[in-house]
Amino acid sequence: MYDADVIRVPMASPGDVSGIAALFDAGKLAPEHVRAVFAQTEGDGYARGYASQSVEILLSERLGWPRSRVNAEIPFLMIGGTAGIMCPHWNLFVRRPAEGKARPRGKRLALGVRTSRVLAPEEYGKVRMVRVVADTTRAAMREAGIASARDVHCVEVKCPAMTPARIQDAQRRGKRVVNTNPAAASSMAKGASALGVALALGEVSRGKLTDAAICRDWALHSEVASTSAGGEQVACRVVVIGNSRQSVSDLVAGHGVMRDQLDLEGASRAFRSAGLQVKDGSVVPAGRRRVAAVFVNAGADFAPGVRGRRHTMHSDFLWSYSGWQAKAVAHAVVSAMVGDTLLLASAGAEHQGPPGANLICVIARAA
């Protein structure tokens, strides 16, 4: 039995941890209960590094741990690049003792956080990585107290990115990496991670998982996996979000799939799955106040168009930011439905839902 919480904190800039510090100062949150940090940061990769360093220093000071221990024990999942009406913010994943809190009816928000063993660059993007992520996901489910895959509503994975230095390291040791283009290899690492989640949850069968299928056979995918890669990671960091009878949380999780950017019914299902009422295409006002967090994993840039119409995300001058555009669009549509822009949107489509889909996880106060 444990209590779980997700706390959203706006940030004024990538280095702004004052909102988190204020929670600590006010006694509303104990630093030792922060199990993972999931952030929407403005700016590019350097801003992500800045944000990570800032929260690492804060936790190091408050916990009295060296920074290396903070880094080892508390995964930071930083999603950079905001556009449109996206609003930078922190999501703190919190677990604390139940401490006599009454057992609620039904299953409540369950969180499991696990880090895999260190992976060698030559394992990235291959079936070996799929298996490692599957094992880590199962371990995180156990920690969360989730027995059935049906109770998992989102799995966030931060896996290692391929870098030129890692390619050279593998080659020096006579090993073959999945692709010598770092971006392509990193994409395959994200794909393998998503398939790892799918394997753990029974969404794909082990027999279909071959090296050749990774980032090729898009029929294989997870409907709850959201993966990103970082050059600073050497292992896979996994956060499982679902519901469990072992949790006394005030919150419940749910999810849904938008099959394309216009699929409002898919988005509605995500909100209903978390116990919220949707009317006239929107979450009703009473439900809006109960929303604790929304995570949207956007896939528009993975499809050449929408319902037969082309878009210009890849052909136009700004094509290098296609993922940012995909996030901005999915974020806007879901924000309009819930009347708030404090939603986290990530981009990533490798085996994360069918091509062009958005995956949505909603966490809300139980009725």
Q: Which amino acids are annotated catalytic?
A: 158, 228
Number of residues that bind a second copy (CB under 8 A): 62
Q: Which span (52-60, 144-152, 167-175, 208-216) binds a second copy, by CB under 8 A?
A: 52-60
- Answer for which of 1, 7, 13, 120 binds a second copy (CB under 8 A) is 13
211, 188 contact by CB (below 8 A): no
Find the part of the chain contacting a second copy (CB under 8 A) among 22-30, 186-194, 201-209, 300-308. 300-308
22 binds a second copy (CB under 8 A): no
Q: Which is nearer to a second copy, 172 or 320 (CB)?
A: 320
Residues 88-107 that bind a second copy (CB under 8 A): 88
The 247-286 site mask, x for binding a second copy (CB under 8 A), equals --------------xxxxx--x-----------xxx----
Stated as kind and residue range, the H or E segment containing 132 is helix 127-144
Q: Choose one: 113-121, 128-136, 213-221, 326-334; the region binding a second copy (CB under 8 A).
A: 326-334
Q: Please, which residue, 117 or 307, has the CB nearer to a second copy? A: 307
Cα–Cα distance for residue pair 337/281, rounded to 1 Å: 6
Q: Are 131 and 196 in contact (CB under 8 A)?
A: yes
User: Of the candidates 281, 282, 221, 294, which has an alpha carbon nearest to the alpha carbon of residue 254?
Assistant: 294
Closer residue to a second copy, CB minimum distance, 139 or 326: 326
CA distance 260 to 264: 9
Name which of 32 and 316 has its Cβ closer to a second copy: 316
SS3 call for 357: coil
Q: Which residues, other chains included, contact 329 with Cβ-Cβ below 8 Å and sequence gap of 6+? A: 84, 261, 298, 300
With tokens 């790892």, the residue in question is: 196
Yes or no: say if 154 and 241 are a contact pair by the CB < 8 Å rule: yes
How far apart, in Å, are the Cα atoms of 302 and each of 6, 13, 218, 350?
30, 29, 11, 9
Shortest spacing between CB 219 and a second copy, in angstroms: 20
Q: What is the 3-state secondary structure (H, E, C) of 335-353?
A: HHHHCCCCCEEEECCCCEC
| The one segment of 5-13, 104-112, 125-133, 148-156 that binds a second copy by CB under 8 A | 5-13
| Under 8 Å between Cβ of 276 and 291 | yes
CB 187 → a second copy: shortest distance, Å?
13
Binding status of residue 206 toward a second copy by CB under 8 A: no
Is residue 49 at the binding interface for a second copy, with CB under 8 A as the rule? yes
Distances (CA, A) of 199 to 127, 152, 196, 346: 11, 13, 5, 22
C-beta of 306 vs 366, nearer to a second copy: 306
**Residue 225 contacts residue 352 (beta carbons within 8 Å):** yes
Cβ-based neighbours of 50, under 8 Å, separated by 6 or more: 14, 15, 43
State the nearest-atom distance from the C-beta of 354 to a second copy, in Å.
17
Least distance to a second copy from the beta carbon of 260, Å? 9
Instruction: Give the x/- contact pattern for a second copy in 215-254, rule: CB under 8 A.
Output: ----------------------------------------
The token pair that represents 293 in the structure block? 């967090």
Figure out which of the listed residues 72, 118, 286, 318 binds a second copy, where binding follows CB under 8 A. 318
Q: Are 123 and 132 in contact (CB under 8 A)?
A: yes
Does 202 contact a second copy by CB under 8 A? no
| Closer residue to a second copy, CB minimum distance, 53 or 171 | 53
CA-based nearest residue to 36, from 99, 136, 108, 111: 111
CB of 149 to a second copy, least distance (A): 30
> How far is Cα 110 from Cα 95, in angstroms, rounded to an integer?
9
Q: Is 39 in the site for a second copy (CB under 8 A)?
A: no
**In the complex, which residues of this chain contact a second copy (CB under 8 A)?**
10, 12-15, 42-44, 46-47, 49-50, 53-54, 57, 82-88, 261-265, 268, 280-282, 300, 305-307, 309-313, 315-321, 324-326, 328-330, 332-333, 335-337, 339-342
